[in-house]
Every structure is written in C-alpha cells, then in structure tokens.
C-alpha cells in the first residue's frame, strides 16, 4: 500500500464558449462526456476526486453527485482552469490536510477517452517520486499530470496570465513514455465533437 495519497482535481467550471453549448453534457456512447471522465477517475487508484463546478450548472453537478464525486462550487465562479485548480487545492488543503508526500493530479474535464488504466499508470509512476510526472505520447506531452503537493503553493504564486503549464515546464519532471496512439484529445469545438463521434 502506498504511503502517498493521490487527489484528483477535475476543473469543470468552464462555459464552453467555443462549443456554443455545455460540452460536458454532450452525449458520447450513451452517456455525457463528463460521465466518462468522472467514471475513469472513480475507477482509478486515486484516493479522492474533486470536481470544481459552476454553482448554476445543475446538470454537471448532478452527474458528479450520481457518481459519488465531491463537488465544489466556488463563488464567484472561476475565470479559468487555473482558478478552478486553485479553488480545488484550497479546499483539499482544509478538507483532507495533505502531507508534503501526497500528490494532486489534473486533467481537463472534456477528455472522454480518459481511462482508469492511463490514470493508474501515472499514479504508479508517481509513487515514491518527488517530481512532476508527465505522460508523453510519442512526441506529445499530455494528461493526466501528477504533481507533488509541495508545488501546490506555486500554483497560487503564478502571474495572472500564466497557466499551470508554467509550473509543469519549469519544475523537475519524470516523463512517462506512452504509445503515440494513446494520446487524449479534448473536445472544445463542434468539429472536435464530430471527430469524436465519427
């Protein structure tokens, strides 16, 4: 049994501007996209899953509750993914009181092909490490990303227009090499959704 605890933060508070409708609730293989994503997290070896959701997004909150995922609805609503993750980290700090040896994992909420197997590969690669673990699919870096809890404070110190990627690229990391064909794509636009459904 690992002495580390692994916390997943799922930023699900976006407004799907490029899609023009709530992309997380779009159907794929008989279920909303978000259902697939959260099901993968719930079936994985992470210890807890926290979704950061808009307070007025009842459908997304309902899917989270159906799957037993803890929901955080910050007010005012997060402006971007970084702010969602900051809210999630702040909540976990108070609720779970992580230790310096624990880790948090991040992946967008709009990656319906996310699998528990992929998450578990990242968790296993993270076990006992103190650096970021970043999956690489052929030549492309991807998700989910696993960060040591000691970097949580750095997330709050990012400049206004800098994203979490700045931490990922500036800090020490272990790159987990995976087959190029397994790279996950997100669903941002109607074209992305059509490709997913083809």
pLDDT digits 0-9 by tens, 158-169: 998 999 999 999
Establish if 180 belongs to a structural domain: yes
pLDDT exceeds cutoff 70 at 124:
yes
Establish if 1 belongs to a structural domain: no
| 18, 98 contact by CB (below 8 A) | no
The reported pLDDT for the residue numbered 26 is: 96
CATH number for the domain harbouring residue 169: 3.90.550.10
Give the span between the Cα atoms of 182 and 111, in whole angstroms. Answer: 12
Question: From the CB of residue 191, how many other CB atoms can be counted at a distance below 10 Å?
Answer: 11
pLDDT digits 0-9 by tens, 48-82: 999 999 999 999 999 999 999 999 999 999 999 99
Average confidence score pLDDT of the chain: 94
The reported pLDDT for the residue numbered 1 is: 39
Tell me the torsion sign for CA atoms 49, 53, 56, 57: negative
The reported pLDDT for the residue numbered 18 is: 85
pLDDT exceeds cutoff 70 at 180:
yes
Give the span between the Cα atoms of 58 and 64, in whole angstroms. Answer: 10
Establish if 107 belongs to a structural domain: yes
End-to-end Cα separation, the chain, in angstroms? 41
Q: Domain tally for the chain?
A: 1
The reported pLDDT for the residue numbered 198 is: 87
* Domain carrying residue 36: 6-197
Establish if 10 belongs to a structural domain: yes
| Mean pLDDT, residues 124-147 taken together | 95
């Amino acid at each position: 049994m690992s002495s580390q605890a692994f916390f997943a933060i799922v930023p699900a508070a976006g407004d799907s501007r490029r899609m023009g409708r709530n992309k997380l609730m779009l159907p794929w293989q008989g279920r909303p996209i978000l259902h697939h994503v959260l099901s993968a997290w719930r079936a994985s070896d992470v210890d807890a899953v926290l979704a950061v959701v808009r307070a007025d997004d009842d459908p997304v909150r309902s899917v989270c509750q159906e799957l037993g995922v803890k929901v955080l609805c910050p007010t005012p609503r997060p402006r971007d993914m970084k702010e969602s993750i900051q809210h999630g980290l702040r909540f976990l700090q108070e609720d779970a009181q992580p230790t310096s040896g624990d880790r948090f994992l991040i992946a967008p909420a709009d990656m319906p092909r996310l699998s528990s197997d992929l998450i578990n590969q990242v968790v296993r690669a993270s076990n006992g490490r103190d650096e970021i673990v970043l999956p690489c699919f052929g030549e492309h870096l991807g998700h989910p990303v696993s960060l040591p809890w000691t970097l949580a404070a750095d997330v709050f110190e990012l400049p206004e227009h800098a994203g979490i990627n700045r931490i990922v690229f500036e800090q020490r990391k272990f790159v987990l090499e995976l087959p190029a064909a397994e790279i996950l794509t997100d669903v941002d636009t109607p074209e992305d959704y059509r490709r997913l459904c083809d």
